[in-house]
A = this chain, B = another copy of it.
Amino acid sequence: MKLGTIRTETGTAAALIDDGTVAELSYVDAGHALRAAPLGTLGQARTGIELGLDEVSFAPLVPNPSKIVCVGLNYRDHVEEMGREVPSAPTCFAKFSGALIGSSDDIEIPSPDVSAAVDWEVELTVVIGSSVRNASSTAALDAIAGYTVMNDISMRDWQRRSIQFLAGKTWEHCTPLGPWLVGTDELGDGSGLDVACEVNGVTKQSSNTDHLIFTAVDLVQDLSRVITLEPGDIIATGTPGGVGAGRDPQEFLKSGDVVTTTIEGIGSLVNTCRQQ
């Protein structure tokens, strides 16, 4: 089961994607759909409008989640390249929904005098399907609707200007999220999936979700101790080694670069950097 949010003439609509066909649903986006009904029953909300995959533009999968949690330092090779310690608890920070873009939208990077350190981060991303607090591991898995792809584009200079990452992580219209979620019926607990990021066709990151320090289920369980997770909430599980800031010499994104972010069993984001 694949659920996305497509752009329509009047705004957006949730849609089910199956074998190259996109079936519009009577919900304004995937977040509203998940809040209204379980993923497995959404087929009942088909409007009858069907389109080909090449006819649609995908909006951010959940345009206005109540929470976007990102997890840092969650693959050992990335912890090492960033010069950090392996954490004993998840390293959680937030992103605001104004940062999100669709799967083919431009990444609106700032001019080099504002940030000269725009970096890539492929991340397996959890989408919550039902409300959960103080979850057991079983309840945590049950609360996951499915998984999608995020590139947690990071302005390293802004991220490191203080001890808190937020300012470098929530740049407007820079974080692609999508193109759709794939349900736990297909992807289970999200383990064993290859993750990769290419820049202009050159592979920069290549790993597998088996290398996550804290798994998707661990993260849902952990965060649910702090606050109720709600349908449509987003948890980006962290990125493996190979980011630009960890290279020697360092490499960063510039206007015109094409970033392709792929997770096995889900799909790809393809986004071009455009200087504002």
Q: Which residues of A pack against B, CB within 8 Å?
A: 64, 66-67, 69, 72-73, 84, 87-99, 114, 133, 158, 161-167, 170-172, 222-223, 225-228, 230
Contact = CB atoms under 8 A, between A and B. Distances in A.
Contact of A167 (B92, B114, B163): B92
Contacts of A225: 114
Leading 6 A-B pairs by shortest Cβ distance: A94-B94, A89-B161, A91-B162, A172-B227, A93-B164, A92-B166
Nearest to A95: B94
Contacts of A97: 66
Given A84-B163, A93-B166, A164-B165, 19 more contacts: A64-B66, A67-B98, A72-B164, A87-B162, A87-B163, A90-B162, A92-B162, A92-B164, A92-B166, A93-B93, A94-B94, A94-B96, A94-B170, A96-B227, A98-B228, A133-B172, A158-B226, A172-B226, A172-B227
Contacts of A67: 96, 98
B227 A170 contact: yes
A84 B95 CA distance: 24
Given A72-B164, A87-B162, A172 B93 contact: no
A66 B96 contact: yes
Contact of A94 (B64, B91, B166, B227): B166
28 contacts: A66-B96, A67-B98, A72-B162, A72-B164, A87-B162, A87-B163, A89-B161, A89-B162, A89-B167, A90-B162, A91-B163, A92-B162, A92-B166, A92-B167, A93-B93, A93-B164, A94-B95, A94-B166, A94-B170, A98-B227, A98-B228, A99-B227, A158-B226, A164-B165, A167-B223, A167-B226, A170-B226, A171-B226
